[in-house]
Structure 1
Amino acid sequence: MTATVSFRIDTPAGSREVSAVHQRHGSGEPVVLLHGIGHHLQAWEPVTGILAAERDVIAVDLPGFGASPALPDGVPYDLPTVAQALGRLCETLGLHRPHVVGNSLGGLLALELGRQGLARTVTALSPAGFWTEGERRFAFGTLRAMRQAALAMPLPVVQRAARTAVGRAALTSTIYARPTRRPAAAVVAETLALRDCTGFEPTLAAGRDALFVHDVPDVPVTVAWGSRDRLLLRRQGVRAKRVIPGARLIRLPGCGHVPMNDDPALVARVILDATR
């Protein structure tokens, strides 16, 4: 079910080849799923089965994350470049204006694709880009601390920790409100994904100036925020609504920054409603 596709993007140094890994399930209208920084496409596993009953679901590893190779040397991980890569990915897969759903960094990318007219609808779960400078510094500092912890822990230590509820909470409570619901194998895999991703530092560097300041007037937009998001505080959802007045703003009770794990049924229902 996992496949790699290659395509070319335009850069200041000329046309360059980029590859990306994706998984595809189900049938119906296409829905592209984009994960957050340091994560991988498996973040969507709690909801892909539900969505695939009604949609053609394409979960993507962003360039430099998961199993997708890094961008070519000298190619920036900024919003225009990565959005261009995702647009070319959709072209290569034969997806014309799919529904696009993203979490965190993926939510920011989904909004940018909507702004460019490349998405039929956009669903953004705790999207990046609506922070104050202080909130951005806090989020980036927290992410760097998580990355350093993942780099410092040998695999056997991660595996032992993931086998206990306390260990899973220690590893993932920053992004999940209910970390003990996450299977041990998934916690190990996402800790390794955070440790091994080549796109982490260049994405953070590019994100210092990342703010989403444009309306998306011609595309239906849903913004959903977990009530227990500890990384990007939910007041940022109110700012998102001010920037995109026509967006539907939804609260996800009891959910953290990566809500798909905390309440899969609720998140799947939000996505299915938004993409109808």
Structure 2
Amino acid sequence: MTLWHETKGDGHDLVLVHGWGLHGDVWEPVLADLQQRFRVTRVDLPGHGRSREVPVGEGLSEWADEVLAVAPARAIWLGWSLGGMVAMRAALDAPERVDRLLAVATTPRFVTDADWPHAMAPDTLARFAGELRNDFRATVQQFLTLQLRGDPQARPLLRTLREAVFRHGEPHHEVLENGLSILGKVDLREELSRLGQPVRVISGRLDRLTHPEAGRALADALPRGDYHCLPRTAHAPFLSDPEHFLELTHDFAQAG
């Protein structure tokens, strides 16, 4: 069984990878514009959305392998949040398949340690995992709220995300727990020097889930990375400021 995926549009192949708990419909506000310029493949990650029956696997590599199985032979990849980690893993494991990469509101390490301060405390993430078991819907809603905290458009965007998250049924609880486990364990920092493709890192200055300084550190650690921070957005810059987000995407895709 393969991931749900849909390919539409014309131009250079572009793969869209969503974040934790959501699905490929989250891209809808920018999808029409992207499909005018790219041949867009969007996916639902294992256990999410319309891929609810796809085995989840235990780690980031398994999720990346599932996306690679339905992705074009060579494409630009655009990954948001946890999807950015999936995209980086795919670029590391199958560099011949990833032409260039846009890493949006993402990080090589989601939780703090002694030399990585710009991240969520491990006990905060562990608390989310515990609350997920006790009150699934409330915890998902809380996580969505945290994604948009501080964003000037938080209220309407939160309505959009809340409507989207359950559009194709509830994600399996074990899938969401597995996703939080991945966020708690993955550390790609030592591998970043091998990621030789051009990478554009896009952060939101108001992001409280993946701090913009984590995005800056990610870009600085990459051989061919560049960094852009959108000043009036939080964790979902493609929803908060689609005009500038699309400008950065198109400009990067057309670069030599």
TM range (shorter): 0.7 to 0.9
Partner of 1:52: 35
Match among 74, 79, 82 for residue 60 of structure 2: 79
SS at the partner of 2:89?
A: helix
1:85–1:150 Cα change, 3 Å: same
Q: Which residue type is aligned with residue 183 of structure 2?
A: G
Match among 116, 119, 131 for residue 98 of structure 2: 119
Task: Please identify which structure carries the higher helix content.
Answer: 2
| Distance apart, 1:260 and its partner CA | 1.5
Aligned residue pair count = 239
| Distance apart, 1:76 and its partner CA | 2.6
Please provide the CA RMSD for this pair: 2.9
| Distance apart, 1:145 and its partner CA | 8.0
User: Residues of 1 paired with 2:217 and 2:178: CA distance?
Assistant: 26
> Are 1:203 and 2:188 counterparts?
no
User: Residues of 2 paired with 1:185 and 1:252: CA distance?
Assistant: 20
- 1:150–1:195: 8 Å Cα contact kept in structure 2? no
Match among 175, 182, 188 for residue 212 of structure 1: 188
- So what's the TM-score if we normalise by structure 1? 0.76
Q: Deviations over 1:105-133 (max 9, x none)?
A: 11111112222312111000011433423
Question: Where does the alignment leave 5 or more consecutive residues of structure 1 unmatched?
Answer: 1-17, 154-167
User: Residues of 2 paired with 1:145 and 1:258: CA distance?
Assistant: 25
Partner of 1:28: 11
Larger of the two Rg values belongs to structure: 1
- 1:229–1:256: 8 Å Cα contact kept in structure 2? yes
Q: Percent identity?
A: 23
- 2:30–2:242: 8 Å Cα contact kept in structure 1? yes
Q: Which residue type is aligned with residue 269 of structure 1?
A: E
| Distance apart, 1:228 and its partner CA | 0.7
Partner of 1:174: 146
User: Residues of 1 paired with 2:26 and 2:44: CA distance?
Assistant: 10
Match among 244, 247, 250 for residue 266 of structure 1: 244
- 2:3–2:54: 8 Å Cα contact kept in structure 1? no
| Distance apart, 1:253 and its partner CA | 1.4
SS at the partner of 2:229?
A: strand
- 2:47–2:171: 8 Å Cα contact kept in structure 1? no
| Distance apart, 1:181 and its partner CA | 3.3
1:85–1:274 Cα change, 3 Å: same
Q: Deviations over 1:91-112 (max 9, x none)?
A: xxxx111110000111111112
- 2:13–2:39: 8 Å Cα contact kept in structure 1? yes
More divergent stretch after superposition (183-192 vs 47-56)? 183-192
> Are 1:103 and 2:84 counterparts?
no
- So what's the TM-score if we normalise by structure 2? 0.81
> Are 1:130 and 2:109 counterparts?
yes
- 1:150–1:192: 8 Å Cα contact kept in structure 2? no
1:221–1:246 Cα change, 3 Å: same
